[in-house]
Chain A
Amino acid sequence: MIRVDNLSVNYGAVRALREVGFEAPSGQITAVLGANGAGKTTLLRTISGLVKPRQGAIYIDEFDVVGIATENIARRGVGHVPEGRGVIEELTVEENLRLGALSAQVNLTDALNEEYERFQVLGERRKRHCSTLSGGERQMLAMARALIARPRVLLLDEPSLGLAPQVTAQLMRTIAQLCETENLTVLLVEQNAKSALRIAHRAVVLHLGSVVANGAAADVAADEDLRRYYLGVVTS
């Protein structure tokens, strides 16, 4: 579970987040929606400790992680798939996965096999350099690399970016499945509100750093004004 309380972040004089508060329950997908510059990426980066907030608290399973170093937050079970996926191109598929498993208490061989079973294409390409992977394969690798450490919380930043619609649809199904089978708390940042709302249980809408809506995904999806003004989805 993630609970964000009264969280504010400044970049110099610019307010990136203003008194943001919401809760993302375990075993559910919480979509974080909003236009470019709404503060979605900043929110994830603050949760991971890459950005220091001006005020507020971030509870991961009742433990406030504000002020803790990024690597230690990761070691507490927070998997973060950053914007642009963060696959290390110069390394092979397997090296990327091994990196993900290093800081966790897992049996490497078992964990690798499990991810290769989950994402079979990665198993076929395990010795390949990541620079040879397609966008969809990179996204799968980034997800597998986060999952291999057995996280309790998964932060996904625009996973659908640059992917073809069918690939996006498949990816969303995978995320929904994972959330259920692994009892993950998923925070799904998306500009593509439509595909995110289809699988999310809850949704938080950000606008210029503030929360303008927070509730069940179905309610947010049904709210005509929200859709028109903040999500850029006109037809349903």
Chain B
Amino acid sequence: MSVFLSSSFIHNIFGGLATGVIYSLVALSLVIIWQSTHVLNFAQGAMAMFATYIGMTEIDRGVGYWWCVIISVAVGMILGGMTERVLIRPLYGKPEINPIVVMVGFLGVLEALASAIWTSTTRNITEPFSQVYYQDHGHLIFLSAFVIFQMVLAIGIMLLVAALFRFTKLGLQLRASALAPEVSRLLGIRVGRMLTIGWMLSAGVGAIAAVIVASGNFGLFPTNMDGIFVAGFIAAAIGGLESPMGAVAGGLLIGLAEQFILAYWSPNVAPLGGIIILVVALMVRPQGLFTKRMSRRV
């Protein structure tokens, strides 16, 4: 058993899944916003980075790690809600390119602001769990407390979001508002409020991803989410943008692909993994691997 767990194959599986869950979280957060407001939020990564800066730098003032996580998520949610209200709401009903342009601009603003406030040097957050691999009779098992923490947290958040959408009154209203806004209003549902809550949820999920990234080897710097956002975006696209399950699966797929390319080919081409999967997926199923219908209703 321990020999098997020490094999490089298992090492790569664990490594790929650990990165993959982060991509899955980012992809999931993009899908939540896309479903409710049909906006591709290009500032998703930057918003999460910004919230993480505000939350995690509280560590400097002696605030405990988990409190900082909670602050980051709360700040992320407030930032998400405000973004919908202030930047996105005036653009409903306008051409779909408008919110994209606004959010790309917002991405630039947030990254510049973060550099100005916190400088662009990488900060390492005191990690809450050890990154040292476990050992079994002298054999390395390629799991550390940190990897377990990141997987459990990410999967826990995904299950929580799924349960919220599936089983709660709020989730039902969120789904209805996204699927049929006008009918929902005729049924007395406050659709505007639901859209704001959707953005808050999404930004909260994004902030969790950024907190995990900042707590690991990668560290925290103003552009630390850029590459991760791209991978998350590709993951969401593979899933078809409409499917939370597809987003999660897409994220894991890209994480694994990158890890195996890194291990058996070259670290320099690892980011290609996601692109290759996207191209293949789009050729096989242009509507996304997990989307049921060929086209969306307008």
Contact = CB atoms under 8 A, between A and B. Distances in A.
Interface of A: 48, 50, 69-72, 74-75, 80, 82, 86, 88, 90-91, 95, 98-100, 102-104, 145, 149
B190 A86 contact: no
B138 interface: no
A86 B186 contact: yes
Contact of B189 (A50, A71, A91, A95): A71
A104 B189 CA distance: 10
Contacts of A74: 185-188
Chain B interface size band reads: 10 to 19
A69 to B, nearest CB: 8
Contact of A98 (B172, B179, B180): B172
Contact of B187 (A50, A69, A90, A99): A99
B26 interface: no
A80 B186 contact: yes
B57 interface: no
Given A69-B185, A74-B186, A86-B183, 5 more contacts: A50-B182, A71-B188, A80-B186, A91-B179, A99-B173
Contact of A88 (B180, B188, B190, B191): B180
A71 B176 contact: no
B187 A100 contact: yes
Contact of A95 (B172, B184, B186, B190): B172
B176 A91 contact: yes
Contacts of A71: 185, 188-191
Given A71-B191, A86-B180, A91-B179, A102 B186 contact: no
Chain B, interface SS category? helix
Contacts of A145: 187
Contacts of B172: 91, 95, 98-99, 102
Contacts of A104: 188
Contacts of B180: 86, 88
B179 A103 contact: no
Contacts of A86: 180, 182-183, 186
A82 B183 contact: yes
Nearest to B170: A102
Contact of A75 (B176, B179, B188): B188
A132 to B, nearest CB: 13
Nearest to B183: A86
Contacts of A90: 175, 179
A82 B185 CA distance: 12
24 contacts: A48-B186, A50-B182, A71-B190, A72-B188, A74-B187, A74-B188, A75-B188, A80-B186, A82-B182, A82-B183, A86-B183, A88-B180, A88-B183, A90-B179, A91-B172, A91-B179, A95-B172, A99-B176, A99-B184, A102-B172, A102-B187, A102-B188, A102-B189, A103-B188
B94 interface: no
A70 B179 contact: no
A47 to B, nearest CB: 11
Given A50-B182, A102-B169, A91 B187 contact: no
A26 B185 CA distance: 24
B265 to A, nearest CB: 41
A104 B169 CA distance: 13
Give 8 closest A-B pairs by Cβ, nearest first.
A103-B188, A74-B188, A86-B183, A70-B185, A75-B188, A80-B186, A71-B185, A88-B180
A40 B179 CA distance: 26
B267 to A, nearest CB: 42
A91 B190 CA distance: 18
Contacts of A98: 169, 172
Contacts of B183: 82, 86, 88
Contacts of B191: 71
B187 A149 contact: yes
A103 B175 contact: no
Contact of A149 (B173, B176, B179, B188): B188
A53 B62 CA distance: 59
Nearest to A90: B179
A34 B21 CA distance: 58
Nearest to A81: B186
